[in-house]
Structure 1
Amino acid sequence: MLARERLLAPLWPAPGSVRRPSTSTIARAVELTAAAAAMGLLVMAAALPNDSDTRATATNPPVSTAQHPGRESDFGAYLGAPYHYPSDFHYVKPGNSDLTIKKIDWFTLPFENPLYYGVRIQRWFSGRFGTMLDFTHSKVHAPFDDQQFDMEGTFDGKPVPPKGRVGDYFKKLEWTHGHNMLTLNGLMRLPSLGIFSPYFGAGAGLSFPHSEIYPKNAPSRTYEYQYTGPVAQALFGIELRLKTGSVFIEYKFTSADYWGPLTGRDGTWFPIDMWRQFSRWWSGEPTKDGWAGAKLTSHQVIGGFLTRFVPKPATP
């Protein structure tokens, strides 16, 4: 095996050995309404000091004020709500199971513990262009009620019926301590409308979900943080710029391709789980209970607050 193929084999099965989760199709239009909880922070504006009046020169690029965005660094946090498109879930245990559950209606409970939340760091190099490191902690549940889905393949060595419930084959199937996405994004501001500053951006990154998957034919659950594949996102939002910060609302579109090992173990905390996954990958150790994954495509509406850090203007 080539060196590169050997390195990738423990993370992803070799091409053609198993089928990857099929991509979901848009099944219905989305109507999503979310509460922007951070809007209550507007009351802080009255107590904040005024921005200094700085002017741009050839050696002193523009810095930010409430009405005139420029060079600045921002730190922010947000809450929100996602909608996940239905998608196929695929479970493979070599020599035992090769099951596909079609178009699962994933759902989320964003305002129940653990909450949907996110944090970000932004750096604007000018009034127009910037970059952002964004972490989103979303959630994904599979329904365990009487809802039936189309199925194909085998489970525990036996063919599955054309339709069935998720609960017929799994005790748990969710990523609820994190459908976690870390992305690096490019940003661009549109022309401001007074204290309202619209912007858009796009980026890519990595998925680090906390998987809780427990097939009924497995002796134990997989309950740990994992690296499962790439993620991409696009976003559009608008800031209401206050004196030393901003309230913002934003729409995000994300797509994450999950494909992770089922280790049959309870993890501890993120760094240790990542190290153990890397060690198994490096050594070529086979997974205990197979592989599982899905393509998670989501609409997300968020609202939050940014604190602004403006560099001091150069002395004339």
Structure 2
Amino acid sequence: MLMREALLAPLWPRRSGTLPSLPKTIQIAVTAATMGLLVAAAALPEDRDAAPAAASAAPASTAHNPGRESDFGAYLGAPYHYPSDFHLKKTGVTDLTIKDIPWYTNPFENPLYYGVRFQRWFEGGRLGTMLDFTHSKVYAPMKEGERAFEGTLDGKPAPASAKIGDYFNKLEWTHGHNMLTLNGLLRLPSLGVISPYAGVGAGMSFPHSEIHLKTDEKRTYEYQYTGPCAQALFGLEFRLRTGSIFIEYKFTAADYWGPLTGRDGTWFPIDMWRQFSRWWSGEEPPNGWAGSKLVSHQVIGGFLVRFVPKTATQ
């Protein structure tokens, strides 16, 4: 287990529960509408002056002719996680699998779904790189229907089926299902100020694990490194005078496998240091290990601020 953790493997209370009863389509629609208002407010004021003189003063390379530039941006979005199995293993005591958990996300309940990114486009504007941080969320349905259980639990055969909330006080990765990826980007032929792009990348997952089996004395509530992640993306950038609005589809995959330490964490650097120290010393986590494979569709929208070298605007 320690080898897998080494190679592969925020502090906010649970949501109030006001939106889970709404259909996913309504949640996504609310997400998209709110997101659109935010990004428009952030990006459009730069282009309110429609006078011909002002338009002619704008460097063409920042809008119609993408070239060498650096971009900083932020976004909101709405993810969908495929159902997947959850595994919990504690040597000699528990080897449990809960089948096909229908994870849900609540992207506009605290803590919000959001992301930030830094992009660098090279000479000619065709190829680029991007460092992308995504803060998503993953909740297990605690009281909503029974799931199939397999294996052993606390030294006894697991029930054939049960509600997750019958055995867990908490099972989620919120604040969040955090992914940090380094991506390669390809800009496709532009259509005026509309600039399509695609990319692919890989990185690491640093979720805030919030897992508490009812028979464990203490919960695990801390930031952790849990394994690798990867993503592929396609988007449309609408290039304004000094910035851009973009919409994007992302496909992400993360393989979680983390220690159940029975500890309340504090800040991210401290939690990471304690996890590294425990791994370095060879200490096994007191409550075992847990994880899942999280595969997601994500639709996002946001804004970018462009920084263009002077030589590119002359």
Q: Scaled by the length of structure 1, what TM-score is found?
A: 0.86
Q: Distance in 2 between matches of 1:244 and 1:9?
A: 46
The separation in 2 between residues aligned to 1:178 and 1:254, in whole angstroms, is 15
Partner amino acid, structure 2, of 1:159 = P
Equivalent residue number for residue 44 of structure 2: 43
1:216 positional shift: 1.2
Q: 1:164 to 1:310 in 2, by over 3 A?
A: same
Cα drift, residue 276 of structure 1:
0.4
CA shift for structure 1 position 53: 4.3
Aligned equivalents of 1:255 and 1:160: distance in 2? Answer: 28
For 2:79, the equivalent position in structure 1 comes to: 82
Paired residue for 1:156, among 148, 154, 157?
A: 154
Aligned partners of 2:58 and 2:241 also within 8 Å: no
With 298-307 and 168-177 compared, the bigger mean Cα shift is at 168-177
Q: Please provide the CA RMSD for this pair.
A: 2.3
Corresponding residue for 1:131? Answer: 129
Question: 2:5, 2:257 within 8 Å by CA — same for their partners in 1?
Answer: no
Partner of 1:58: none
TM-score normalized by structure 2?
0.86
- Quote how far apart the aligned CAs of 1:127 are: 1.6
- Work out whether residues 10 and 286 of structure 1, in 8 Å CA contact, stay in contact via their aligned partners in 2: no
Correspondence for 2:142: 144
Amino acid at match of 1:266: D
Displacement of 1:254: 0.2
Deviations 1:35-94 (A, max 9, x none): 03313435313257656547xxxxxxxxx3211100000000000010000000000111
1:263 to 255, 258, 261: 261
Instruction: Give the counterpart letter for 1:224 in structure 2.
Output: E
One-letter code of the match for 2:284? P
Q: Contact 1:10 / 1:284 at 8 angstroms: preserved in 2? A: no
**Counterpart of 2:114?**
117
CA–CA separation in structure 1 for the residues paired with 2:142 and 2:129: 40
List gaps (5 residues or longer) in structure 1.
14-29, 55-63
AA at the equivalent of 1:123? R
Q: Judge conservation of contact 1:252–1:301 (CA < 8 Å) in 2.
A: yes
Task: Count the aligned residue pairs.
Answer: 287
Aligned partner (choices 297, 300, 304) of residue 298 of structure 2: 300
Q: d(CA) in 2 for partners of 1:248 and 1:11?
A: 36
Aligned with 2:311: secondary structure? coil
1:8 counterpart (3, 11, 19)? 3
Identity over the aligned pairs, expressed in percent? 69
Who is 2:198 aligned against? 200
The corresponding residue for 1:177 is: 175
Match of 2:277 in 1: 279
Partner of residue 97 from structure 1, selected from 79, 91, 94: 94
AA aligned to 1:118 is G
Deviations 1:92-143 (A, max 9, x none): 1111111000000000110011000000000000321000000000000000
Counterpart contact for 1:11–1:261, Cα < 8 Å: no
Structure 2: which 5+ residue stretches go unaligned? Answer: 9-23
Q: Distance in 1 between matches of 2:246 and 2:213?
A: 41
- AA aligned to 1:181 is M
Q: 2:223 aligns with which of 222, 225, 240?
A: 225
**Structure 1 residues 76 and 42, CA gap change in structure 2 (3 angstroms):** closer
Q: Secondary structure at the match of 1:271?
A: helix
Question: Residues of 2 paired with 1:12 and 1:216: CA distance?
Answer: 30
Matches of 1:117 and 1:143 in 2, distance apart? Answer: 22
Q: Secondary structure at 1:199's aligned position in 2?
A: strand
Give the 3 Å change call, closer, same or farther, for CA 314–304 of structure 1 in structure 2: closer
- Whether contact under 8 Å (1:187, 1:201) holds in the other structure is yes
